[in-house]
Amino acid sequence: MSSVNITFPDGTIKEYKHGVTPMDIALSISEGLARNCVVAEVNHRLTDMTRPITKDTAVRLITWKDPEAHEIVLHSTAHTMAQAVQRLFPDVKVTIGPAIENRFYYDFDTPTPFTEGDLVKIEAEMKIIIKEDLRVERKEISRNDAIDFFDKLGESYKVEIISEIPEDEMLTLYSQGEFTDLCRGPHIVSTGKIPAFKLLSVAGAYWRGDEKNKMLSRIYGTAFSSKKELKAYLELLEEAKKRDHRKLGKELDLFEISETVGPGLSLWYPKGATLRKLLEDYWYAEHRKRGYDIIQTPHIGKAELWETSGHLDFYKESMYPVMPVEGQDYYLKPMNCPFHIMVYKRHQTSYRDLPIRYAELGTVYRYELSGVLHGLMRVRGFTQDDAHIFCTLEQLNDEVEKLLLFSFDYLKAFGFEEYEVYLSTQPEEKFVGEPALWEKAQKSLSKSLKKLNIDYKVEEGGGAFYGPKIDIKIKDAIGRMWQCTTIQFDFNLPDHFDMVYTGSDGEHHRPFVIHRAIMGSLERFIGVLIEHTAGKFPLWYAPVQLKIIPVSEKYNETATTIAQAAIDKNLRVEVDKRNERVGYKIREAETQKIPYMIVVGQKEEDGGVVKLRHQGGEELASMSVKEMIAFLKEREEMRD
């Protein structure tokens, strides 16, 4: 009988019989290891524990401790949920059920939308399926046979998906008991391996995210390798609910997404607009320090501009419909890039002029399906903190290093200290630009990251078609990661717009173009800030820094005088003159999460001293109004 050589992660090579499975390998080491294995990585690809190995290869056994295990158990639990749903509701059709970050969902076509009450019944049935410990089996099948299989089951959504797959492609089905689903896998060995799960919520979702299609019923759930991990995650979700920027945005009177105005379009109330302006002012100041020229561009552009940039070819579905004006077609801008290039092209550029750094808080408009809109995090009109750097090959490394340092300094100012950094490289198939240019750009990004001792992960083939990029994700106060900063090369637009500079040799050369956004968008960044701080903004960007509470109408004039003295020093102050009890007004100021407050009564009027109360109840020593203002200004400058 022939054999295969298996190479383990430590370099050890061991001989096994031909057709050995990862489970056989695990059992040959120990039964305990076999019990803890979820899937295996065979030749750098995840595979089922029961799949035969027919050639020499590298094998890594994935246990519950490995990060890859989580997505597997999420996906397997999604299948188990779909099986439970079809047992309880036989008329339901299944569509898709992917694993997403820490969760899974499945969309169903059901005569009656699911309710929160249905989740209890579905969970109970899932527990029965888990107790049955049904073996999960993989089967390869031709496209046409798969269509016949699901057509006989009446699963029209599966038939639609499969019909769009090339005819000669082999597909895989996964079965557990009476339930079978179209799936790439891999999956756990049996349903009994699911350790801990919880169904979270129900929602509506259009088939394929298109509002012209049927509304489906979506169920969200989660699963973990232990009840302890599940409990910790559910507690995190409860904390996240308290921090939800949509909830706090309303409570703190910051913004609104009005159905009357339109979904995905934000209305900024005075406090929210103040918060936004403070961030804008900081953004402008930091960019001026670092040699950026601030520009401003229109909200619409002629069709010719978007044809030249290529947006009408590859991005039209995300653009709003054409606006005919005096025989010319115009479009709302989905991106700022073409305008920045037009500013660059206004005159001949020499190598002596480079690098050129243009920055803009530019508002763009993108058509997002209503099903994906989410507060400030996903909107249809938003302001990007865009910048474009035009430089020579020799300047690349220096510019990328400056961009990285600027990005981390900027994010740290807002309290973000932990990051995940990703370098995305050239896609295998569709890309523009010469491979040599990609190589130079990728080396520049990698070299800069290494020089600055920044840990990063490489996403091979994950770059956009027009250039490699660095993405920075920030970790918030409760451990969630948010996509934030992007540093992106662009090999597409320089060619489309025939961008050149005159080199030292007197010849024309293409500049390198780096597109960069630190916050991503103001709207999304503010949404993240609200959730990161739970609405307790630091003094330096709190919309209201000081609330003054007179104990009665008699002291309104004194309170107003104190307020004006603080306002004259550019502090942001409110006086609560309402005829309400002092305790009520104090509690409301606490609810509004205002950093500091003072109560003004007879003692304050007679003595000219005040006692600052910090948000949360801490009282500071008595001080004069002048000392109070100096204290607040000092804390503000420290970015407290």
Say what the pLDDT of residue 590 is: 94
- From the list 187, 243, 245, 469, the catalytic residue is 469
pLDDT digits (tens, 9 = 90+) for 512-558: 999 999 999 999 999 999 999 999 999 999 999 999 999 999 999 99
Say what the pLDDT of residue 136 is: 97
Give residue 368's region: left, alpha or beta (phi > 0; psi -120 to 50). beta
Say what the pLDDT of residue 516 is: 95
386 included as an active-site residue: yes
Say what the pLDDT of residue 620 is: 87
- 46-60, 94-108, 240-254, 609-623: least confident range: 609-623
Span 170-198, mean pLDDT?
Answer: 95
| Residue 131: Cβ within 10 Å count | 10
476 included as an active-site residue: no
Span 21-37, mean pLDDT?
Answer: 95
**Strand pairing category for 57-63 and 37-42:** antiparallel
Is the distance from CB of 183 to CB of 71 less than 8 angstroms?
Answer: no
CATH superfamily placement of domain 539-637: Anticodon-binding domain (3.40.50.800)
Residue 395 has pLDDT above 90, yes or no: yes
Say what the pLDDT of residue 374 is: 92
For residues 374 and 336, what is the distance between their CA atoms, to the nearest angstrom?
23
**Domain 255-297+336-528, second-level architecture:** 2-Layer Sandwich (3.30)
Span 113-124, mean pLDDT?
Answer: 95
pLDDT digits (tens, 9 = 90+) for 208-219: 877 788 999 999
- From the list 385, 386, 490, 576, the catalytic residue is 386
Amino acid identity for residue 88 in this structure: L
Pick the CATH number of 3-63 from 3.40.50.10680, 3.90.1300.10, 3.40.50.300, 3.10.20.30: 3.10.20.30
Is the distance from CB of 127 to CB of 156 less than 8 angstroms?
Answer: no
210 included as an active-site residue: no
For residues 615 and 594, what is the distance between their CA atoms, to the nearest angstrom?
6
Residue 640 has pLDDT above 80, yes or no: no
Residue 1 has pLDDT above 60, yes or no: no
pLDDT digits (tens, 9 = 90+) for 35-44: 999 999 999 8
Measure Cα distances from 481 to 269, 352, 478 in Å: 28, 41, 9
- From the list 83, 86, 176, 384, the catalytic residue is 384
- From the list 515, 532, 547, 585, the catalytic residue is 515
**Strand pairing category for 596-600 and 609-614:** antiparallel
DSSP string, 574-585: EE--SSS-HHHH
Q: Which two tokens stand for residue 494?
A: 């320089």
CATH class for domain 70-237? alpha beta
Q: How confident is the model at residue 511 (pLDDT cuts 50, 70, 90)?
A: very high
Q: Which two tokens stand for residue 284?
A: 């402008």
- From the list 366, 547, 572, 593, the catalytic residue is 366
Say what the pLDDT of residue 437 is: 82
Amino acid identity for residue 159 in this structure: V
Q: Which residues contact 304 (CB under 8 A, 6 or more apart)?
A: none
337 included as an active-site residue: yes
For residues 61 and 21, what is the distance between their CA atoms, to the nearest angstrom?
11
Strands of 300-302's sheet, edge to edge? 300-302, 328-332, 323-325
Give pTM, 2 decimals: 0.87
For residues 615 and 634, what is the distance between their CA atoms, to the nearest angstrom?
17
Amino acid identity for residue 504 in this structure: S
Q: Which residues contact 223 (CB under 8 A, 6 or more apart)?
A: 73, 74, 76, 77, 104, 194, 195, 196, 197, 198, 230
Q: Where are the domains of the chain?
A: 3-63, 70-237, 255-297+336-528, 539-637
Say what the pLDDT of residue 299 is: 97
pLDDT digits (tens, 9 = 90+) for 562-602: 999 999 999 999 999 999 999 999 999 999 999 999 999 99
- From the list 37, 183, 337, 391, the catalytic residue is 337
- From the list 70, 311, 380, 388, the catalytic residue is 388
469 included as an active-site residue: yes
Helices (H), 6-111: 22-29, 31-36, 68-88
384 included as an active-site residue: yes
Is the distance from CB of 45 to CB of 30 less than 8 angstroms?
Answer: no
